[in-house]
Amino acid sequence: MKTSGPRGGCPRSNPVLTGLMVTSVAWAMAGTWPAEAKPPASGAARWRIDDPWVREAPPGSRVLAAYGTIHGLPDRPGALIKVESPAFGRIETHAMSREGSMMRMKAVPRLEVPARGQVKLEPGEWHWMLYEPRRPLIAGDQVDVVFQFSDGSRLARKLPVRRYPAP
């Protein structure tokens, strides 16, 4: 079988390989991949956030809260360093602490996650503060949020808006 062109140029194409290459280029240019060929989301193997949700707030509220459980999957610790959403002006991670009989809330730049551990964000404890909503949100809505970690990975999630406490 001849493997090069008449002048010793490029090898002759194998129809199967040509088809695979053309299909791959088409998928890449279209920005779509079949589900079984889709590359994993950045950080998907390293981080997991279980049951993330946004607490429904009264109409006209300029601040909402969100919760969930962050799991660090590696054998080394890391941190959540940024949370973003096109639905809000800004998002901060907050810690709660008791000073005497008063509860205090403080924004923190990093939320440390232990190796193979978890950090639970829940009402009255750690939480995300969602400032300046771009539109009113009611129970049943969903919000796109991207979480960025200290290793550079990013994890995109859809957070449902829920009533609290649930009726």
Which tens digit of pLDDT belongs to each residue from 8-36? 544 454 443 334 333 333 333 333 333 33
Structural domain count of the chain:
2
What does the DSSP 8-state code read for residue 77?
-
Q: How far from chain centre, in Å, is Cα 109? A: 17
Residues 25 and 55 reside in one and the same domain: no
Domain that residue 15 falls in: 1-39
Which residue do the tokens 């280029």 mark?
A: 25
- Least-confidence region, from 40-54, 63-77, 146-160: 40-54
Phi, psi of 24 (to 5 degrees): -60, -45
**Same domain for 68 and 132:** yes
**23 in the same domain as 59:** no
Q: pTM higher than 0.85, yes or no?
A: no
Residue 167 domain-assigned (yes or no) = no
Q: Please name every residue paired with 160 in a beta bridge, in sequence order, or none if there are none.
A: 142
**How does pLDDT run across 55-97, given as a tens digit for each residue?**
999 999 999 999 999 998 767 899 999 999 999 999 999 999 9
Q: What is the mean pLDDT of the chain?
A: 80
| Of the candidates 139, 122, 134, the residue with the CA atom closest to the CA atom of residue 58 | 139
**Contact assessment for residue 150 and residue 110, using Cβ atoms and an 8 Å cutoff:** yes
- Give domain status of residue 128, yes or no: yes
